[in-house]
Copies of this chain bind each other. A is one copy, B any other.
Amino acid sequence: MQERCNRIPIALQVHTKTHKNPEIARMQLRQGAVGICCQKLGEAEVMVAGGIEENILIPYNIVGEQKLVRLARLARRARLTVAVDSEYTARGISEQLKKDGASVGVLVEIDTGGKRTGVQSPQAAVELAQTVSRLPNLELRGVMTYPSRIEAKPVMEETIELFRRAGLPLTEISGGGTGAEAVSKEIGCNVTRSGSYAFEGLERINTTTNPPNPVSCATRVIVTVVSTPTPERIIIDAGQKRFERNPPNPYGYVVEYPEARIYAMSVEHGHVDVSACSHRFRVGERLMVIPQHQETTLNLPEEVYGVPKGRIEVVWPVAGRGKMR
């Protein structure tokens, strides 16, 4: 991913939501990433505690007194940037930081079709940016959007033009989404945020034409067959509480038997259709499953194991797992 971004070229700001682990984040920074992203204050606290103090972006509206107090505390220890899409959010942060003698960088978030957060027009982005630039203890740094899509180009260009005309700083123009690095560049960004590439899930892989391998999909959950009720169906000891309720069908990919289809998940059981497999499954057998969406699957366990060539070489705590706020 770093090589891809170097070639484009575009700065890579790695999203740590996938692994939630400061050591892996430091590996990504050593490869050349310009900073990290954390989607939650609780995850940013874990990264700072793990030794990362430079260029942490929280691309999320931080709202409410409890979070603001924690943000101010963290901002005294690390260089933070936050995203805002309303004057309310910007003012709340500014007031708390002023009180606590801290400051943060700010990106104005613009919605370019993702229909999540973000102001709704280039004009609204500029107006909010002007407000931010006048508020104490905030350093306006630019704009951000998510995800980077080619359709966003006219809106981004207009936004950039309006920022320039208004004399507003545009140090950062930040896009995001694993796989969207070149698109980020194309729509005018100088930074792209990317996270899930670290371990990768099945989401962006056509498993029929391109079976996942340890590089394309490093995450594996080891499960045990606990029941073989019929020749067509086996039950594994991993359901929603192990995988999180992954997007349906096939929920995950059984590495040893790609023809097996995990067709349902109850809370503690995975239901697997094995009618297309010639293998005769038996209770007690272990299987490796690649989850559909590793970010939420990896929010559940306390640790993960680094296993190159069949040997455990490292045990990583999922330091940022299960953070609620």
User: A: which residues have CB within 8 A of B?
Assistant: 17, 39-40, 60-61, 63-64, 85-86, 88-89, 92, 111, 115-120, 224-230, 233, 235, 237, 240-242, 244-246, 266-269, 271, 282-284, 286, 295-296, 299-302, 322-325
Residue of B nearest to A242 (CB): B324
Residue of B nearest to A230 (CB): B120
Contact among B63, B92, B120, B283 for A63, CB-based, below 8 A: B283
A240 touches B229 (CB 8 A): no
A115 touches B63 (CB 8 A): no
A296 touches B245 (CB 8 A): yes
B324 touches A301 (CB 8 A): yes
- A168 to B39 alpha-carbon distance, docked (Å): 58
Contact among B89, B229, B241, B300 for A119, CB-based, below 8 A: B229
A61 touches B227 (CB 8 A): yes
Q: What distance in Å separates the Cβ of A312 from its nearest Cβ neighbour in chain B?
A: 15
B267 touches A39 (CB 8 A): yes
A17: which B residues are within 8 A, CB to CB?
267
A240: which B residues are within 8 A, CB to CB?
244, 296
Q: What are 29 of the A-B contact pairs (CB < 8 Å)? A: A39-B267, A60-B226, A60-B268, A61-B237, A63-B225, A63-B226, A63-B237, A64-B286, A85-B227, A86-B228, A115-B229, A115-B233, A116-B227, A116-B229, A116-B269, A117-B235, A117-B269, A119-B229, A120-B229, A120-B230, A240-B244, A241-B299, A242-B324, A245-B246, A245-B296, A267-B296, A300-B322, A300-B324, A302-B324
Contact among B39, B119, B283 for A61, CB-based, below 8 A: B283
- A31 to B39 alpha-carbon distance, docked (Å): 44
Residue of B nearest to A240 (CB): B296
Q: What distance in Å separates the Cβ of A66 from its nearest Cβ neighbour in chain B?
A: 10
A227: which B residues are within 8 A, CB to CB?
61, 85-86, 116-118
- A299 to B267 alpha-carbon distance, docked (Å): 11
Q: What distance in Å separates the Cβ of A106 from its nearest Cβ neighbour in chain B?
A: 15
Residue of B nearest to A233 (CB): B115
A284: which B residues are within 8 A, CB to CB?
63-64, 88, 92
A268 touches B39 (CB 8 A): yes
A283 touches B229 (CB 8 A): no
- A60 to B269 alpha-carbon distance, docked (Å): 10
B295 touches A267 (CB 8 A): yes
A283 touches B89 (CB 8 A): yes
Residue of B nearest to A226 (CB): B61
- A322 to B85 alpha-carbon distance, docked (Å): 34
